[in-house]
Structure 1
Amino acid sequence: MNKELTYSTPEEEGVSSEYIINFLNEMEKREAEIHGIMILRNNKVIFEAYNEPYRKEIPHIVHSFTKCFTNTAAGIAYTKGLIKLEDKVLDYFPEYREAANEYLQKLTIRNLLTMRSGQERSIGGNEWRPLKTSWLDAYFKVPFVKEPGSEFMYSSGNSYITSAIVQRITGKTCHQLIEEELAPYIGLEKFSWGESPEGICSGGNGVSITVEGMARLGLLYLNQGKWGEKQLLSADWVNLALGKKDPQPRKAGEKDYNFHWTHTGDIWCSDGMFGQTCAIIPEQNMVIAITTADSNYLETELIQKEILDPMKEERNFAEKMWNVLKNKGLRMSLENKNRSVSNKMVSGNRKIEMEPFENEDRIEKTGLEFLEDKVIFWMKDNRGTHFVEAGLDCWIHGKTSMTGGYLHHQYEMDEMKIAACAYWKSENVLMMEWRYPEMAFFDHVSFEWKEDRVYMKRWVNMNSQALERPVVTAKICES
Structure 2
Amino acid sequence: MENLITRPLPRSLPEAQGISSAAISAFLKHMEGQRLGLHSFMLLRHGAVVAEAWWSPYRPELPHSLYSLSKSFTSTAIGQAVAEGHLTVEDKVVSFFPEDAPADISPNLANMNISHLLMMGTGHTEDTTPYMENSEDGNWVKAFLQLPVGKTPGTHFLYNTGATYMLSAILQKVSGLTLLEYLEPRLFAPLGIHNPAWDSCPRGINKGGYGLSITTEDIAAFGQLYLQQGVWNNRQLLPKEWVAAASSRQIDNNDGSPGASSSDWSKGYGYQFWRCRHNAYRGDGAFGQFCIVMPEQDAVVAITSGDSDMQSILNGVWDILLPGMSMEPEAVESDPAAHAELAQLLAHLSIQPVQLQKVSALEETLNGKVYRLKDHPQQLASLALSFTATEAVLTLQGRYGEQTVKLGRGEWAESSAKILDHNNNLIMSSFTWTDENTLKMTLLLVETPFCLTFEVAVREGSIVLKQQFNVSMSAEDLEAEFIGRLA
TM-score using structure 1 length:
0.92
Cα distance change, pair 250–474 in 1 and its aligned pair in 2 (3 A): closer
Alpha-carbon offset, residue 346 of structure 1: 2.2
Map of 1:68-467 to 2, 5 A cutoff? Answer: 68-95=72-99, 96=101, 98-124=103-129, 128=133, 133-243=138-248, 247-249=250-252, 252-253=255-256, 254-266=266-278, 267-297=280-310, 298-311=312-325, 316=333, 318-340=335-357, 342-346=359-363, 350-356=367-373, 362-402=379-419, 404=420, 412-465=421-474, 466-467=476-477
CA contact (8 A) 1:349 1:372 kept: no
Alpha-carbon offset, residue 472 of structure 1: 2.0
Aligned partners of 2:217 and 2:74: how far apart in 1?
18
SS in 2 for 1:185: helix
Aligned residue type for 1:23: F
Alpha-carbon offset, residue 82 of structure 1: 2.4
Cα distance change, pair 124–26 in 1 and its aligned pair in 2 (3 A): farther
Look up the match of 1:63.
Answer: 67
Aligned partners of 1:417 and 1:130: how far apart in 2?
30
Aligned residue type for 1:413: H
CA contact (8 A) 1:17 1:322 kept: yes
Aligned partners of 2:377 and 2:444: how far apart in 1?
23
Alpha-carbon offset, residue 352 of structure 1: 2.3
Look up the match of 2:54.
Answer: 50
Structure 1 unaligned residues grouped into runs of 5+ = 405-411
Alpha-carbon offset, residue 447 of structure 1: 0.7
Cα distance change, pair 451–392 in 1 and its aligned pair in 2 (3 A): same
CA contact (8 A) 2:290 2:304 kept: yes
Aligned partners of 1:332 and 1:283: how far apart in 2?
30
Cα offsets for 1:48-72 (capped at 9, x unmatched) = 1111111111100010001011101
Aligned partners of 1:362 and 1:264: how far apart in 2?
41
Aligned partners of 1:75 and 1:306: how far apart in 2?
34
Aligned partners of 1:324 and 1:112: how far apart in 2?
47
Look up the match of 1:475.
Answer: 485
Alpha-carbon offset, residue 176 of structure 1: 0.9
SS in 1 for 2:283: strand
CA contact (8 A) 2:67 2:209 kept: yes
Cα distance change, pair 74–362 in 1 and its aligned pair in 2 (3 A): closer
Cα offsets for 1:338-358 (capped at 9, x unmatched) = 332552312599322223456
Structure 2 unaligned residues grouped into runs of 5+ = 257-265
Aligned partners of 1:322 and 1:358: how far apart in 2?
53
Aligned partners of 2:40 and 2:131: how far apart in 1?
24
Look up the match of 2:260.
Answer: none
Look up the match of 2:25.
Answer: 21
CA contact (8 A) 2:15 2:334 kept: yes
Identity %: 28
Alpha-carbon offset, residue 442 of structure 1: 0.5
Residue 40, structure 1, aligned to residue 5, structure 2? no
Residue 11, structure 1, aligned to residue 18, structure 2? no
Aligned residue type for 1:3: T
CA contact (8 A) 1:401 1:414 kept: yes
CA contact (8 A) 1:77 1:83 kept: yes
Aligned residue type for 1:462: V
Q: Which range moves more in the overlay, 431-440 or 305-314? A: 305-314
Aligned partners of 1:463 and 1:9: how far apart in 2?
38
Look up the match of 1:408.
Answer: none
Aligned partners of 1:323 and 1:463: how far apart in 2?
38
Alpha-carbon offset, residue 251 of structure 1: 5.2
The number of equivalent residue pairs is 467
SS in 2 for 1:39: strand
CA contact (8 A) 2:131 2:143 kept: no
